[in-house]
Amino acid sequence: MVRPTTLLPEVKAHYGDLKNYIGGAWRDSTATAWLEDPNPATGTTIARVPLSPKEDVEAAVDAAKGAWEEWRETPPVSRARHFFALRDLMEQHFEDLGRVIAQDMGKGIDESRGEVRRAIENVEVAAGIPSLMMGYTLEDGAAAGIDEEVLYQPLGVFAGISPFNFPIMVQCWFWPYAVATGNCWIAKPSEQDPVVQALLFDLIERAGFPPGVVNLVHGARETSEAILDHPDIKGVSFVGSTPVAKAVYTRAAAHGKRVQCGGGAKNLLVVLPDAKLDQAVPNMISSCYGTAGQRCLAGSAVVALGGSHEVLRRKFTAAASGLKLGYGLDETVQMGPVISGASKQRIVALVDRGASEGATVALDGRGATVPGYPGFFVGPTVLDDVAPDMTVAREEIFGPVVTLFEADGLDDAIDLVNRSPYGNAASIYTSSGKAAREFRYRVRAGNVGINIGVAAPMAYFPFSGTKDSFFGDLHPQGRDAIRFFTESKVVITRWL
């Protein structure tokens, strides 16, 4: 049974049986199977998600192909006006978007608002497409009287498959750049919390994007595979776990598509003895337990250097134990539930495994409950005395669980980062410019923080990643995205 919400009527319209948005219209899916989408804090179903078959994907591709020729010929300055309109609509519905995320994904309302802000920033950057898409010309570039120039042109239809943890932001890493450069788009949001995408597409429609330029298809694995296999989709953007990212990259690339795939992470926060702990610990707590640890930039391991382990453990555990757990729409809550019952079971099992392998459970969140909310809660958890070969030290937990390490010096800490198969992010806390410079130069991670626990690039910078945290060549956001969604054409001219 679907529980009514307290949101505005136009937002409430998307709670219930979700529809696809294809060719500028809301359409019933041809799906024969559906998934229930619960509020992670209450466990109550708020929507039903169609498992759209390949026929729905084909309909979206046909709509996008039909819109592409006219859209690609639309001047970039005219395309940009739709993004300015969308930006204004997103600002008007800022609180609605945030509340939907808090209800459907489970994160706190402040974090949800922060995610909406990041999504808007990507729309704003894409609105600058007349400048971002400019090529370059060199007079007499080839020889006297012969000019040479580079043009950037769109390819056609692209698609994006996004994860549950940032249900509006990650799609906005991709589609604004794809569409601004003259391509058409098919969004496949996570089946675990897709409602905010439905609301966003209401705003996209109101912003005046022509029918077929931006499309939405709900679903799960079959839907994604239809996207990866479709011959008329030129490229795919993806974020998810490393095993799935590898599979997506391999399958899409085998069909000749451009692919950018963000994978999992195991991000280390390295703490030197000269770190200012009173400022560093709150920053680390935010990194480790924000979004209940379910983000690819979350600090998942804290490495203490030079005998600072005991004081760091005491301060960190005390701060973590003080976090208020609860329903995200409560403004005083600092950490919400994890996304699902299955996720909770997996996280608890990994904590059990860590304890059985010799780790000390310094703070135990396995039995956490919130009165009045029977959802999927796991409290802040700290595992101490962790060795690098333990399962919890090697595998991505993707929950509110932090492992504590000791290292003899900076070389050992950098070696820990570099030996990890993941390379999404790494951070150092120090007052030493020399140590910070050495760390950022030597560490093998795509996003590096200096006294910052969440090294999240702004929208005009690429969201980097290395090793098993990224598969592809060009990253989301910024100029990398412009290059990914266009092909360059060199024109050499001589007038006789």
Q: Is the pLDDT of residue 412 over 70?
A: yes
**Which carries the bigger pLDDT value, residue 3 or residue 292?**
292
Mean pLDDT of the 126-153 span: 88
**Which carries the bigger pLDDT value, residue 213 or residue 15?**
213
Q: Of 495, 496, 494, 488, give the one whose Cα is nearest residue 136.
A: 488
User: Tell me, what's the pLDDT at 13?
Assistant: 54
Q: Is the pLDDT of residue 12 over 70?
A: no
User: Tell me, what's the pLDDT at 328?
Assistant: 95
Report CA 422 to chain centroid distance, whole Å. Answer: 16
Backbone angles phi, psi at 400, to 5 degrees: -80, 55
CA distance 310 to 347: 26
User: Tell me, what's the pLDDT at 423?
Assistant: 97
Backbone angles phi, psi at 397, to 5 degrees: -90, -35
CA distance 31 to 52: 5
Query: Does the annotation mark 172 as catalytic?
Result: no
- pTM, entire model: 0.95
Q: Of 409, 407, 484, 404, give the one whose Cα is nearest residue 155.
A: 484
Rounded to a whole number of angstroms, the CA Rg of the chain reads 23
What is the per-residue burial (b if ≥16 Cβ within 10 Å, else e) of 1-11? eeeebebeeeb
Residue 271 to residues 308, 330, 414: CA-CA distances in angstroms?
A: 8, 33, 12
User: Looking at this protein, which amino acid is placed at residue 494?
Assistant: R
Domains 9-263+469-492 and 267-450 equal at CATH topology level? no
Looking at domain 9-263+469-492, what is its CATH homologous superfamily? Aldehyde Dehydrogenase; Chain A, domain 1 (3.40.605.10)
Q: Is the pLDDT of residue 341 over 90?
A: yes
Joined tokens for residue 390: 């333990």
User: Tell me, what's the pLDDT at 120?
Assistant: 98
Q: Spell out the domain ranges in the chain.
A: 9-263+469-492, 267-450
User: Tell me, what's the pLDDT at 15?
Assistant: 74
Angle at 213 between CA 212 and CA 218, to 5 degrees: 70
Tens-place pLDDT, residues 61-82: 999 999 999 999 999 999 999 9
Give the up-direction half-sphere exposure of residue 386: CA atoms within 13 A in the CB hemisphere: 28
Joined tokens for residue 464: 């980097």
Sorted by sequence, the CB contacts under 8 Å of residue 54 that are 6+ apart come out as 222, 223, 225, 226
Q: Is the pLDDT of residue 476 over 70?
A: yes
Joined tokens for residue 187: 């969004």
Residue 240 to residues 61, 97, 263, 340: CA-CA distances in angstroms?
A: 23, 22, 5, 16
Q: Is the pLDDT of residue 2 over 90?
A: no
Output the 3-class SS for the chain.
Answer: CCCCCCCCHHHHCCCEECCEEECCEEECCCCCCEEEEECCCCCCEEEEEECCCHHHHHHHHHHHHHHHHHHHCCCHHHHHHHHHHHHHHHHHCHHHHHHHHHHHCCCCHHHHHHHHHHHHHHHHHHCCHHHHCCCEEEEEEEECCEEEEEEEEECCEEEEECCCCCCCHHHHHHHHHHHHCCCEEEEECCCCCCHHHHHHHHHHHHCCCCCCCEEECCCCHHHHHHHHHCCCEEEEEEECCHHHHHHHHHHHHHCCCEEEEECCCCEEEEECCCCCHHHHHHHHHHHHHHHHHCCCCCEEEEEEECCCHHHHHHHHHHHHHCCCECCCCCCCCCECCCCCHHHHHHHHHHHHHHHHCCCEEEECCCCCCECCECCCCCCCEEEECCCCCCHHHHCCCCCCEEEEEEECCHHHHHHHHHHCCEECEEEEECCCHHHHHHHHHHCCCCEEEECCCCCCCCCCCCCCCEECCEEECCCCCHHHHHHHCEEEEEEEECCC
Tens-place pLDDT, residues 89-133: 999 999 999 999 999 999 999 999 999 999 999 999 999 999 998
Angle between helix 221-229 and helix 242-254 axes, rounded to 10 deg: 30
Q: Is the pLDDT of residue 464 over 50?
A: yes
User: Tell me, what's the pLDDT at 307?
Assistant: 86
**Summary mean pLDDT of the chain:** 95
Q: Is the pLDDT of residue 195 over 70?
A: yes
User: Tell me, what's the pLDDT at 6?
Assistant: 44
Q: Is the pLDDT of residue 140 over 80?
A: no
User: Tell me, what's the pLDDT at 137?
Assistant: 82
The 10 Å Cβ neighbour count of residue 244 is 18
CA distance 186 to 160: 6
User: Tell me, what's the pLDDT at 303?
Assistant: 97
Question: What is the greatest pairwise CA distance in the chain?
Answer: 82
User: Tell me, what's the pLDDT at 14?
Assistant: 57
Confidence of residue 169 (pLDDT cuts 50, 70, 90): very high
Angle at 143 between CA 138 and CA 148, to 5 degrees: 30
Candidates 3.40.50.720, 1.10.3480.10, 3.30.565.10, 3.40.309.10; CATH matching 267-450: 3.40.309.10
User: Tell me, what's the pLDDT at 3?
Assistant: 32
Neighbouring-strand partners of residue 489: 151
